[in-house]
Structure 1
């Protein structure tokens, strides 16, 4: 595992850190140099073990994850990232079949790009995911209160009114935030997919339905009303609670 020295964003702060997970040092080197040339910091992990270690020792803003790792299937590592509420991940893999893409997205990938790829396209996707998952600034910091819960946007946490935390993955947090910010408004699957992954849903893409189902179960297990998030047949989903913005 290797790291590069911190860079600086145009605003003067540390630039986003991208963890490149690939056992091919040649590919990882090319990708890392290209990202650094465009203002990002990078770290490199060659296998799942090094990746888990990197996640504990540093706080990457994004993971570029190859699925063909020598010690663990990348899909298992992707599931680990999603379950622990880790940073967003873009799968970069030679497995380009549609079924692999669907599995990756359902396990929590925020985007999926097949090898071989164009470096400029990769950069655009990296910037898109970083932009969608950037923490709120102090001027934008606020809480969304609804149905006995508080979603803290800068801290990216959800708590019940009694202070009990509700564990959400990165994707579930973004999904809930999008629904709350458009409370009482029916959001199409395309709109929700765009908020999570920056693209429209395909005609057979059920990842939004899977994600909403998981979110519903977590909220209801924590005491939310069963009808908090309702499906609208043939359209999408709507959050039915009133939301107080602070």
Structure 2
């Protein structure tokens, strides 16, 4: 019993020591992370100081060049006094420029922090509204596509109708030409043949012009599929048929 009590006491002591070492380890880890963060900050500051030192060295070189040029252009009498005066003037100008730059940097940092806060606020305000906006855009896009598809179907139907009417027009022209040549067994004169040929060319040009005019008013999606667009409601062949009938009666 005494041995078991001693073992229990040892276990309790070891458990307490283990808890203490764990807490010490966690505190050490936190301290290491803090030191790493400080090291990163120190590196950033060192880089900034390096940039500032390079800028100062560049300014010093520029001042040295200007002073050398002033020294070379001045006479020997009173050159030292003028050199000191110019140096003081340049130093005052650089100090003023440094103050102006520091003020601008502080203003830009303040402005940057304000813009970051505004952006976070807008993002937090717009985040619950984004699903509704996305759904509305999808609905409008699908509706637009459906309307374009329906327009395309209508235009294809009208294209087929125009093709059939053009085929009928060409068939009627061929029949009329055959009837004119076979009528009364007499060949037409050269003037009448030329007139008929010119009239056929004019009719063909008119039909092509109407076809092209109807295709100009097409929306871009339908034009991309190559189907002609909706022109005037009347058929483009109705007027040429009337003129050909009148010419046939004159030739007969």
TM, length-normalised to structure 1: 0.16
Higher RCO (Cα < 8 Å, 6 or more apart): 2
Write 1 or 2 for the structure with the bigger share of strand.
1
Q: Which has the larger radius of gyration?
A: 2
